[in-house]
Amino acid sequence: MTIRILFLGPLADLAGQLECEVEGPLDWDGLLAFAGPAVAEQLQLERVNVACAGKVLADKTALSAVDGDEIALLPPVSGG
């Protein structure tokens, strides 16, 4: 079991991949380091959200993922 990280929307282009896997546990600093500078810069913007285990985190810097979790990196939405 590992942690799965999904890059949604334009973040997938920036990351050059749709998803990847990483060994848990993973916290905010670990995510930033793992994501690489381009994605990390986006992640630090207020309008970019992070979901873990199916819930959008109210405070993404409190991320605390363990093996088996899915993390989704959510750029600004543009629906409708």
Residues that bind another protein (CB under 8 A): 6, 8-10, 13, 51, 54-56, 70, 72, 74-80
- With H, G, I as helix, E, B as strand and everything else as coil, classify residue 45: coil
CB of 11 to another protein, least distance (A): 9
Q: Which is nearer to another protein, 37 or 54 (CB)?
A: 54
User: Could you tell me which residues come within 8 angstroms of residue 59 by beta carbon, excluding any fewer than 6 positions away?
Assistant: none
Q: Is the dihedral of CA 30, 71, 41, 11 positive or negative?
A: positive
Q: Which is nearer to another protein, 33 or 80 (CB)?
A: 80
CB of 19 to another protein, least distance (A): 11
Residue 76 tokens read as: 């600004």
